[in-house]
């Protein structure tokens, strides 16, 4: 049986993983002859793997993560109070499936955004949809949506994402529209989807930034209470790396 007509048929059926596997075996034939069932199984595995990788690429592109970060690359050597056991537990993404929240706090430069993006990247790998937003840019996005009439559409889109990462919350006080928008986002997501927030401020100080006691209580109730907490300490990693020699930097 000629191989090319078979490849053409598989291509028309959009079984591109099978096509790639057959072409690879054509270029490098296996030493041992495969039984028909074994061949079908290997072809099915190749097709499944290609489709899963394509889905992952799509999820990562849609997530728009700020940093290229992986949980396997998190550095625990720097003394910043990062609990390895908790990070490894969160890396399983069960908290995403359970529609829970994670709050990562600490001073600037200690790696909050990196850890957040690493957990979000792992969630993408585990099959969850993710969206990353720097909070100040999120407020701009909501303001623009109000102006062009797409506000409800943006809220619905954010509500559907299985994990929303809100990075750098609390850098500046919130106005009335920003408070309302943030509360609406969190209300839509509460007990339905997962949310991860990073902030330089401890949640005990969020009320002052939110600027309204009632809204502050509502936001903290939906986001902080029952959340997994990571509180990082120590000097900025950027500052530490700036004073290292080139050989020392290569070890980080």
Does residue 176 sit in the same domain as residue 201? Answer: yes
Establish if 214 belongs to a structural domain: yes
Q: Are 179 and 208 in contact (CB under 8 A)?
A: no
* Structural domain includes residue 44: yes
Contact 52, 36 (CB under 8 A): no
Tokens of 51: 């489709």
pLDDT band at 252, cuts 50/70/90?
very low
For 139-190, how does the pLDDT look when each residue is reduced to its tens digit (9 = 90+)?
A: 999 999 999 999 999 999 999 999 999 999 999 999 999 999 999 999 999 9
In a domain, 251, yes or no: no
Pairing of strands 130-134, 101-105: unpaired
248 assigned to some structural domain: no
The H or E element containing residue 62 is: helix 36-63
Question: How crowded is residue 218: how many other Cβ atoms within 10 Å of its Cβ?
Answer: 18
CB 198 within 8 A of CB 105: yes
* 31 and 120 share one domain: no
Whether 174 and 208 share a structural domain: yes
Mean pLDDT over all residues of the chain? 88
The pLDDT tens digits for 90-136 are 999 999 999 999 999 999 989 999 999 999 999 999 999 999 999 99
Instruction: Name the domain boundary from 39, 61, 83.
Output: 61
- Provide the b/e sequence for 151-162 (b: ≥16 CB within 10 Å): beebbeebeebb
Q: Is residue 9 domain-shared with residue 44, that is, in the same domain?
A: yes
**DSSP line for 120-165:** HHHHHHTT--EEEEEHHHHHHHHHHHHHHT-HHHHHHHHHH-SEEE
Residue 1: predicted pLDDT = 53
Q: For 149, how many CA atoms within 13 A lie in the half-sphere containing its CB? A: 0
CA 182 to CA 201: how far, in whole Å?
Answer: 17
Q: Name the range with the highest mean pLDDT among 24-33, 102-111, 235-244.
A: 102-111
Geometric angle at alpha carbon 130, from 128 and 135, rounded to 5°: 155
Distance CA 176, CA 196 (A): 23
Quick one: pLDDT at residue 251? 44
Cβ 139 vs Cβ 178: under 8 Å: yes
Q: Which of 36, 61, 86 marks a domain boundary?
A: 61
Please identify, among 61, 83, 103, the residue that sits at the C-terminal boundary of a domain.
61
17 and 75 fall within a common domain: no
Rg (CA), the chain: 23
- Asked if residue 98 and residue 192 are part of one domain, the reply reads yes
Domain of residue 16: give its range.
3-61
In the chain, the number of structural domains is 2
**In a domain? residue 250:** no
């Amino acid at each position: 049986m000629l191989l090319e007509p078979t490849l053409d048929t598989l291509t028309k059926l959009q079984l591109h993983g099978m096509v790639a596997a057959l072409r690879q075996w054509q270029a490098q034939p296996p030493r041992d002859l495969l039984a028909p069932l074994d061949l079908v199984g290997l072809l099915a595995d190749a097709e499944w793997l290609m489709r899963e990788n394509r889905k992952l690429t799509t999820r990562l592109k849609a997530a728009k993560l700020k940093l290229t970060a992986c949980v396997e690359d998190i550095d625990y050597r720097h003394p910043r109070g990062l609990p390895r056991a908790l990070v490894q537990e969160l890396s399983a993404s069960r908290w995403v499936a359970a529609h829970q929240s994670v709050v990562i706090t600490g001073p600037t430069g200690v790696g909050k955004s990196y850890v957040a993006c690493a957990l979000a990247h792992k969630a993408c790998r585990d099959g969850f949809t993710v969206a990353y937003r720097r909070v100040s840019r999120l407020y701009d996005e909501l303001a623009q949506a109000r102006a062009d009439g797409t506000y409800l559409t943006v809220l619905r889109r954010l509500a559907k994402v299985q994990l929303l990462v809100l990075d750098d919350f609390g850098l500046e006080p919130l106005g009335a529209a920003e408070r309302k928008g943030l509360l609406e986002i969190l209300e839509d997501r509460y007990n339905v989807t997962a949310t991860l927030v990073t902030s330089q401020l401890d949640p005990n100080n969020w009320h002052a930034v939110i600027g309204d006691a009632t809204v502050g209580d509502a936001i903290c109730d939906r986001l902080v209470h029952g959340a997994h907490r990571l509180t990082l300490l120590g000097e900025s990693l950027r500052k530490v790396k700036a004073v290292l020699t080139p050989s020392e930097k290569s070890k980080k």
